[in-house]
Chain A
């Protein structure tokens, strides 16, 4: 049972345009959500996060939106740059504070010059 789902395995956008990556979750106990970025042959790196008490968090070109009623979050990258080409994982943790993260399958973003 996949509790965190990224239904789009890949996304291709033109440089300068907006990239929108989506993530759905099923567990209503999740209270914190994160996005990680991963380049080939490297470990994932933290990108941005959002608490369930908020519906938006912004950091430079990156904005994460959370829709709790729909159990859906999205990552917007504006403007997209070729260096943003990577695999993006969304992850969620629950109120138990064990530190365990549940990851989605990942979406490969390609930004074309």
Chain B
């Protein structure tokens, strides 16, 4: 089992460019989420999904879109990247009572 996989590992964008961060899981978990980690801020929830076809906003959703067409995949889209979106992004799935399993992360730099 690969668990939670994220691609790419690193990405550099110019302001205004768009891109999609990919997240896939093979644990058949219904719940998936995206977090960003910034220095001194901990991990902040961007969007989450409780199952295919259902998504909702977290703490910091502005500038990001998500969709969930399958149980396995939960991509995060940046439509027009801004320097404030420079961060490390983690995808996670939920197993038992609130125990979440995180992917290895994507380090994004927006110039």
Q: Smallest CB–CB gap between A106 and chain B, Å?
A: 6
Q: Are B94 and A99 in contact, CB atoms less than 8 angstroms apart?
A: yes
Q: How many residues of A contact B (CB 8 A)?
A: 26
CB-based contact B103/A43 at 8 Å: yes
* Contact assessment for B33 and A99 in the assembled complex, using a CB-CB cutoff below 8 Å: yes
Given A99-B50, A100-B45, A106-B42 in contact, is the A43-B105 Cβ separation under 8 Å? Answer: yes
Q: Judge whether B74 is part of the interface by a CB distance below 8 angstroms.
A: no
What string of 1s and 0s marks CB contacts (under 8 Å) between B55-90 and chain A? 010110000000000000000000000000000001
B48 A100 Cβ-Cβ under 8 A = yes
B residues at A contact (CB < 8 Å): 4, 31, 33, 35, 40-45, 48, 50, 56, 58-59, 90, 92, 94, 97-105
**Inter-chain contact B99/A49, CB cutoff 8 Å:** yes
The residues of A with any CB-CB pair to B shorter than 8 Å are 4, 6, 9, 32, 34, 36, 41-46, 49, 51, 89, 91, 93, 98-106
- Whether the pair B90, A32 counts as a contact (CB closer than 8 A) is no
